Amino acid sequence: MKIQLYWLLSAALLLLPAKADAANNKKPFVIPELQEWRGSQGMFTPTATSRIVYTGKDPAVARVANQFAEDYALMFGRRMKVVQGRAAAGDFVLSLSADRRLGDEGYTMKITDRVTLTAPKSKGLYWATRTLLQLTEQQGDQALPKGTARDYPDYAIRGFMMDCGRKFIPMSMLRDYVKMMAYYKMNTFQIHLNDNAFKQYYSHDWDKTYSAFRLECETFPGLTARDGYYTKKEF
C-alpha cells in the first residue's frame, strides 16, 4: 500500500509542472519565427489611454516610435500618442539597451501590463515593432499574449528581387513592396532596372537590340531614353 501511495504522489508531482506550463502562452506565430519565447499567463489589451513612449535622446528611436504610431493607425484605425519620458501600465515602451549579444538587428520584447521593446540599435527596435504589428493583427481587440521574446535574424541579408528591365513598374508599387518586405523583416531590395530587349525581334543581333532604364531619373533623365542615350553634360 505504501509503495502504491509513493508512486501516486510521484506521478502527481511530475504532472504539476506540465499543468503550470500549459497555462502559459505558447510561442506566437510571426514571420520569421521568434528565436526565443518564454510565455506568461494572460493577455495585454491596449486601452484608450495607451501611448507609445520612447526614452533617451536618440532621434532614430523617436523616428521608430512615430513610424510605429503611423503604421498602427493605418492598420487598426487608432492613432496612439507618441511621447518621450516615463511609461505607465498600458503603454508601448521603446528604448535602447546594452545587450550586444543581440547584434544590430536583434531585440527583446516583454509583454506584461505594458509592452517593452529594447534593442542595442534603433534598427532592432524597428523590427520589434513589425513583430508587434503582426501579433496585433491576429486579435480583434488588438490583444497581445503576455511573455518575453528575444529575437534576432539568422541571416544578415534577407531580400527580394524584382525585374523591371522589360516591364514598367511604377514607383508607387515599389514603395508598397518595400512596406511589405519590412513587415516580414526583409532588409534588401534588389531591383533589376536595365536590360536589352529580346534579340529575336532584332535579327538576333545584340548590337541592334536596344536597352534602357525603366524608372525615371530626374538627375540623369537621358537614362530612360531608348538605347540609354545620355550626354556628357548630364554627368
Determine contact, residues 91/50, Cβ cutoff 8 Å: yes
Nearest residue to 66 (alpha-carbon basis) of 125, 11, 5: 125
Nearest residue to 141 (alpha-carbon basis) of 28, 40, 46: 46
Q: How far apart are CA 39 and CA 22, in angstroms?
A: 10
What single-letter DSSP state applies at residue 29?
A: P
Q: How far apart are CA 109 and CA 95, in angstroms?
A: 11
Q: Residue 63: what are its φ and ψ, rounded to 5°?
A: -65, -40
| Per-residue pLDDT at 221 | 73
CA distances from 118 to 27, 39, 96, 126, 146 (A): 19, 18, 5, 10, 16
Read off the amino acid at residue 210.
Y
Query: 139-176: b or e for each residue (b if 16 or more CB lie within 10 Å)?
Result: eeebbbbbbebbbbbeeeeeeeeeebbeeebeeeeeee
All structural domains of the chain, each given as residue ranges with its CATH number in brackets, are: 24-151 (3.30.379.10), 159-234 (no CATH)
Q: Where are the alpha helices (DSSP H) in 79-168?
A: 122-136
Q: Give first-to-last CA distance, the chain, whole Å.
A: 95
pLDDT of the chain, 235 residues: tens digit per residue: 455 555 555 555 555 554 445 589 999 999 999 999 999 999 999 999 999 999 998 999 999 999 999 999 999 999 999 999 999 999 999 999 988 899 999 999 999 999 999 999 999 999 999 999 999 999 989 999 999 999 999 999 999 999 877 677 888 999 999 999 999 999 999 988 777 667 787 788 877 776 666 566 788 776 666 554 444 343 3
Determine contact, residues 120/142, Cβ cutoff 8 Å: no
| Per-residue pLDDT at 192 | 83
Determine contact, residues 120/100, Cβ cutoff 8 Å: yes
Nearest residue to 144 (alpha-carbon basis) of 111, 110, 107: 111
Tell me the sheet residues that pair with 163. 192
